[in-house]
Amino acid sequence: MRAQRGLSIIELMVALTLSSFLILAVTQLYLNNKRHALFQEGQVSNEENGRTALLLLDQQLARAGFRANPTLQTTLETAFAARPAANGCPAMSSGQAVALTDDKTGLCLRYQGETKGRDSDCLGNPIAEDANGNGTEVLTRISYVADPAGTLGRGTLQCSAQGRPAQVIVAGLADFVWFTLPTPSQPSQAVRYAALFSSRAVPTEGMANAMAANWKPLTGRELPAGASTQVLQIVQGSVTLRNLMP
């Protein structure tokens, strides 16, 4: 019977080395695919939150200065009397329909509900019918509220109306900015805003993040600490306040 020759120690070491490289390559491929999947998941989440913000803000801001019965209330001054500060909103002069809160994190607007009482506010609560047929005045506040613990991606936009407690309407924010409001004499009456969305616990792991470099030039605000390593999405909008146009 012929003796069989086994593997030499050198051949065994070469085989082990090659198998180790193969295992490392497969592991790296798995990690890269997982990281890419998390990155894409974060982008999808940011885009969905961004679309929600655009839709809700456009709907609510467009209501500013709406008069339910313009044939009787021919001017904004007639429809909206001066009012003191209330519900986190500053005092408003006669005819004024929009104002930023003192800390600039919120925007207050007022409008009239539909005369038959079939309208609802930003929280879905019904707006009561006005006995005079002019529409009930509604004061709405939309504010950015950062996470108390400073966690990225946990900031929210909250809305309150008709003196009721604020509720979250948009989540997933790292920062939010209301730009300076136009004066009544300006020909263009529009509200501009910018939102920075961040996916929670989804680091970029070195992937390019152009959004991090764009936030300060756009808003003049520093990027929140740690945001450059997260998946970010910037959403900006401009809503023309047609009810305030001359």
Residue 64, pLDDT score? 96
DSSP-assigned letters across all residues of 102-165: TTSSEEEEEEE--TTS--B-TTSPBPPPPTTSS--EEEEEEEEE--TT--TT-EEEEEEETTPP
Burial class (CB in 10 A: 0-12, 13-18, 19+), 133: exposed
Q: 195 pLDDT exceeds 90?
A: yes
Residue 208, pLDDT score? 52
**pLDDT class of 154 with cuts at 50, 70, 90:** very high
Residue 38 pairs in a beta bridge with none
At 52-90, the pLDDT tens digits run 999 999 999 999 999 998 888 889 999 999 999 988 999
Compute φ and ψ for 142, nearest 5 degrees: -115, 115
At 24-53, the pLDDT tens digits run 888 777 776 766 666 667 778 889 999 999
Q: How far is 80 from 71, CA to CA, in rounded Å? A: 15
Quote the radius of gyration of the chain (alpha carbons, Å): 28
Helix (H, G, I), strand (E, B) or coil at 239: strand
User: CB–CB of 97/244 below 8 Å?
Assistant: yes
Residue 27, pLDDT score? 79
Mention every residue, 6+ apart, whose C-beta is less than 8 A from residue 204.
39, 229, 230, 231
Count Cβ atoms below 10 Å from residue 18 Cβ, excluding itself.
10
Give the mean pLDDT of 104-133: 90
